[in-house]
């Protein structure tokens, strides 16, 4: 019996891993590392047929280890709902990925994080945690390639009034749920085309030589003056 | 040769006066350009928390009468002029890239969208911004967003935000601040973005000889580019080095243009006027948030209405307490810095740096 189960599992794995969606997403547009592989989605291709108890905190298959990192000690079941074929999270929201699903779907995951991180969630809704954007009736947002190829999102609003601020990004855009520490994105060079500052060594050498030249001049002037008299 | 100069008493007086004036001007310029020179005791006094009551009690003494129909009419004129200029630039693009190209149609679309607003301040609002120095990672995305939003020229160092790298260890000496760092965040450093502090008692407003700059009722310090005569007194007066002088004729790039403009904000500036951060007046007066707040990848910036107890800025002031830069100058800035506690990258976390 046990062997049979293992066999089916192995076969399943084989099929699913070849048939799985291959969407590679190692980091989002901020350079924040997101899920190791999103290519396991949709989960129910495997989990409809077998439901691991989900009470562990290490998954070899998914490469998720909750014995390390800030979320160590949590179990998969704290956030994932095994009854739904792993398609749902514990707040009843379907699993979604930042950049793959549209923003409103991913935003629904926030209340899951909020169930344990009340304070941050409250600040987040207020606009004090995470960054804010705004929406307006009939408005739209357009991507513009700006200076140095950095994208910028321009807002168009038909009306001049009634812009409403709201959180710009879902929690999981900044925090990977399995390793929520936020890693900083890359640093951009200073935006203006002004010339770089001179090397500090040159400033020192230049300063010293100007000083010596100055002293030489003074000495020369003094000597000449005496001679003139 | 020394005697010959001293022979004329009157000339000596002149000479002395001229040198004094020169030295004074130089000193004033240095103090303006250098946000960074400060000694240890002064810096310690800088890190004195400002209380909410002090902040709310502050009343602005300046305002600008000209809002309403006359400004609206001026905005319409400007809008037409800009549309014409933009269309000319778009035609050049269309000739270059061909009529059917995406750039051509995009440029024309942008030009037709140009809208110059003259929104007056909303009654009862008082804006403020706060920045979490613990979260800021010095990535400069706010600078880039600012440049794009405000149609700022990219050359000549015109960007309105400057991010300073300051040492975290010991007493941070602002005089060791670095502007041109390449990689960040480095351990043991804090990053302090500095732009216009929108002071309650702005020295730049005091010195303006033509009342071209003023503090509005909602707390934003603005410049009327048509009144500005380019004397640069305000550039010198600003203790934070936040003002920029527009040295070159602005280039209009229709494809990258932000068509949402305010006549005192991100409208294409004429040459030889002073400009600076306006807290994106074209967005905030209508209820939005500034571009830097939106672009910050770590959410270090908080913007809101000081008079609204529900606003995020009030939460930050209540919860963490806030600092201002150079309090000894008596400018009472409305741009606050605070230490939120959660550092990016987290300390003691492997791979966090």
Domains of chain B and any CATH numbers: 38-65+127-338 (3.30.70.20)
Peptide bond into B185 cis (omega under 30): yes
- Candidate from B144, B260, B289 with C-beta closest to A132: B289
User: Taking CA atoms, what residue in A is nearest to B253?
Assistant: A146
Phi, psi of A120 (to 5 degrees): -65, -35
- Cβ-based contacts of A134 with chain B (< 8 Å): 283, 287-289, 294
DSSP B120: P
Contact call for B287 and A128, based on CB within 8 A? no
Contact call for B137 and A185, based on CB within 8 A? yes
Note the pLDDT tens digit of each residue in A6-59: 444 444 443 444 333 333 334 444 444 444 445 567 888 888 888 777 788 888
Q: Is residue A93 part of a domain?
A: yes
- Cβ-based contacts of A144 with chain B (< 8 Å): 148, 255-256
Q: Is residue A192 part of a domain?
A: no
- Cβ-based contacts of A190 with chain B (< 8 Å): 140, 143, 159, 179-180
SS3 state of residue B106: helix
CA A7 vs CA A4, A13, A45, A136, A202: distances in Å = 5, 10, 17, 55, 72
Pairing assessment for the beta strands B127-132 and B335-338 based on DSSP bridges: parallel
pTM over 0.90: no
Range(s) of the domain holding residue A113: 2-174
ipTM of the complex: 0.76
Phi, psi of A104 (to 5 degrees): -65, -30
- Cβ-based contacts of B292 with chain A (< 8 Å): none
Contact call for A163 and B148, based on CB within 8 A? no
Contact call for A163 and B296, based on CB within 8 A? no
Shortest distance, CA A138 to any CA of chain B (angstroms):
15
Find out whether B115 and B78 touch, Cβ atoms under 8 Å. no
Contact call for B143 and A190, based on CB within 8 A? yes
- Candidate from B148, B259, B260 with C-beta closest to A152: B148
With 0-12 / 13-18 / 19 or more C-beta atoms within 10 angstroms meaning exposed / middle / buried, residue A108 is: middle
Shortest distance, CA A158 to any CA of chain B (angstroms):
10
Shortest distance, CA A129 to any CA of chain B (angstroms):
6
Q: Is residue A33 part of a domain?
A: yes
Q: What total number of domains does chain A contain?
A: 1
| H/E stretch holding B92 | helix B69-97
Written as one string, the DSSP assignment of chain A is -HHHHHHHHHHHHHHHHHHS-----SB-TTS-B--S--TT-STHHHHTT-------SEETTTTEETTSSTTTT--HHHHEEGGGTT-EETTSPBP--BTTB-HHHHHTTHHHHHHH-HHHHHHHHHTSSS-EEEE-TT-EEEEEE-GGG-EEEEEE-SSSS--EEEE-S-HHHHSBTTB-PPPP-PPPPPSS-PPPPPPHHHHHHHHHHHHHHHHHHHHHHHHHHHHH-
- Whole-angstrom distance, CA of residue B268 vs CA of residue B285: 19
- Whole-angstrom distance, CA of residue B66 vs CA of residue A149: 39
Q: Is residue A212 part of a domain?
A: no
A33: tokens are 């590392």
Written as one string, the DSSP assignment of B16-65 is HHHHHHHHHHHHHHHHHH-S----HHHHHHHTPPBPHHHHHH--------
- Candidate from B113, B255, B287 with C-beta closest to A156: B113
Shortest distance, CA A172 to any CA of chain B (angstroms):
12
pLDDT (tens place) for every residue of chain B, 353 residues total:
334 444 444 555 566 666 777 776 666 655 554 444 445 555 555 566 777 767 766 665 555 667 888 899 999 999 999 999 999 999 999 998 888 888 899 899 989 999 999 999 888 899 999 999 989 999 999 999 999 999 887 766 788 998 998 887 655 556 678 888 888 788 888 899 999 999 998 999 999 998 899 998 888 999 999 999 999 999 999 998 899 998 877 778 888 889 999 999 999 998 899 999 999 999 999 999 999 999 999 999 999 999 999 999 999 999 998 988 888 888 989 999 998 888 877 654 444 33
Q: Is residue A206 part of a domain?
A: no
Contact call for B140 and A191, based on CB within 8 A? yes
Q: Is residue A182 part of a domain?
A: no
CA B278 vs CA A152, B256, B291, B299: distances in Å = 19, 20, 11, 20
Contact call for B155 and A192, based on CB within 8 A? yes
């Amino acid at each position: 019996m046990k062997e049979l189960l293992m066999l089916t599992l192995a076969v399943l794995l084989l099929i699913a891993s070849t048939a799985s969606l291959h969407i590679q997403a190692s980091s989002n547009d901020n350079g924040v590392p997101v899920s190791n592989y999103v290519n396991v989605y949709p989960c129910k291709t495997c989990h409809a047929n077998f439901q691991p108890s989900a009470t562990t905190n290490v998954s070899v298959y998914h490469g998720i280890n909750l014995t390390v990192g800030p979320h160590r000690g949590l179990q998969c079941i704290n956030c994932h709902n095994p009854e739904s074929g792993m398609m749902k999270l514990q707040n009843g929201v379907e699993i979604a990925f930042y950049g793959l699903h549209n923003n409103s779907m991913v935003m629904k995951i926030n209340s899951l994080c909020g169930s344990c991180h009340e304070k941050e969630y409250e600040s987040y809704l207020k606009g004090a945690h995470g960054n804010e954007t705004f929406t307006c009736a009939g408005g739209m947002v357009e991507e513009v390639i700006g200076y140095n190829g950095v994208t910028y999102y321009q807002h168009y609003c038909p009306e001049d009034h009634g812009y409403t601020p709201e959180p710009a990004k879902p929690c999981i855009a900044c925090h990977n749920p399995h390793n929520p520490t936020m890693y900083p994105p890359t640093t951009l060079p200073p935006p203006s085309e002004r010339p770089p500052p001179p090397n500090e060594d040159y400033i020192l050498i230049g300063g010293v030589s100007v000083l010596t030249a100055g002293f030489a001049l003074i000495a020369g002037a003094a000597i000449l003056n005496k001679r003139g008299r | 040769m020394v005697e010959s100069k001293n022979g004329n008493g009157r000339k000596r007086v002149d000479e002395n006066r001229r040198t004094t004036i020169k030295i004074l001007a130089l000193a004033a310029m240095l103090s303006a350009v250098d946000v960074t020179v400060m000694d240890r005791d002064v810096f310690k006094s800088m890190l004195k928390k400002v209380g909410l009551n002090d902040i709310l009690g502050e009343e602005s003494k300046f305002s600008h009468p000209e809002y309403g129909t006359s400004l609206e009419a001026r905005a319409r004129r400007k809008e037409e002029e800009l549309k014409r200029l933009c269309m000319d630039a778009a035609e050049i693009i269309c000739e270059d890239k061909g009529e059917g190209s995406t750039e051509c149609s995009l440029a024309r679309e942008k030009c037709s969208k140009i809208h110059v607003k003259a929104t007056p301040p909303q009654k009862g609002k008082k804006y403020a911004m706060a920045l979490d120095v613990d979260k800021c990672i010095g990535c400069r995305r706010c600078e880039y967003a600012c440049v794009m939003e405000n149609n700022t020229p990219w050359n000549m160092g015109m960007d309105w935000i400057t991010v300073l790298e300051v040492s975290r260890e010991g007493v941070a000496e602002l005089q060791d601040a670095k502007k041109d760092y390449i990689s960040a965040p480095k351990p043991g450093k804090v990053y302090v973005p500095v732009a216009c502090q929108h002071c309650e008692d702005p020295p730049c407003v005091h010195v303006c000889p033509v009342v071209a700059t003023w503090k509005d009722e909602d707390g934003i310090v603005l410049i009327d580019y048509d009144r500005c005569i380019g004397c640069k007194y305000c550039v010198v007066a600003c203790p934070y080095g936040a003002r920029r002088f527009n040295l070159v004729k602005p280039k209009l790039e229709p494809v990258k243009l932000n068509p949402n403009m305010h006549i005192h904000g991100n409208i294409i500036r004429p040459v030889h006027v002073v400009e600076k951060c306006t807290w994106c007046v074209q967005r905030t007066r209508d209820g939005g948030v500034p571009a830097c707040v939106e672009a910050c990848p770590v959410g270090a910036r908080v913007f809101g209405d000081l008079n609204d107890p529900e606003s995020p800025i009030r939460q930050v002031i209540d919860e963490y307490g806030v600092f201002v830069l150079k309090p000894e100058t008596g400018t009472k800035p409305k741009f606050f810095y605070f230490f939120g506690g959660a550092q990016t990258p987290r300390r003691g976390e492997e791979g966090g740096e």
